[in-house]
Amino acid sequence: MSKKLNYDSAYSELTQILQDIQSEETGLEQLSEKLKRATELADFCRQRLRTIEEEIQKIHPDKQIEF
């Protein structure tokens, strides 16, 4: 995973993979590679969301934010 990856670029890459697979440009040989990458990206995105959530809760220690 590239070091520059952030939520937006990760999500953007994830949707690109979806588009590629939907347009059937992806050959079967690449498919497993792409799925592996997509899983990585999705995990990264979820992790980022969790981190952001924790950061927001730190900013509002009185837990005004309702999750």
Tell me the closest approach of the beta carbon of residue 63 to another protein, in angstroms. 10
Helix 28-59 / helix 7-22 crossing angle, nearest 10 deg: 150
User: In angstroms, rounded to a whole number, what is the distance separating the alpha carbons of residues 66 and 18?
Assistant: 32
Q: Does 1 bind another protein (CB under 8 A)?
A: no
Tell me the closest approach of the beta carbon of residue 30 to another protein, in angstroms. 10
User: Could you tell me which of 53, 36, 45, 57 has the C-alpha nearest to residue 12?
Assistant: 45
Take residue 3 and report the two structure tokens written for it: 């070091």
Q: Does 49 bind another protein (CB under 8 A)?
A: yes
The residues that touch another protein, with contacts defined as CB under 8 A, are 7, 11, 14-15, 17-18, 21-22, 24, 26, 28, 31, 34-35, 38-39, 42, 45-46, 49, 52-53, 56, 64-67
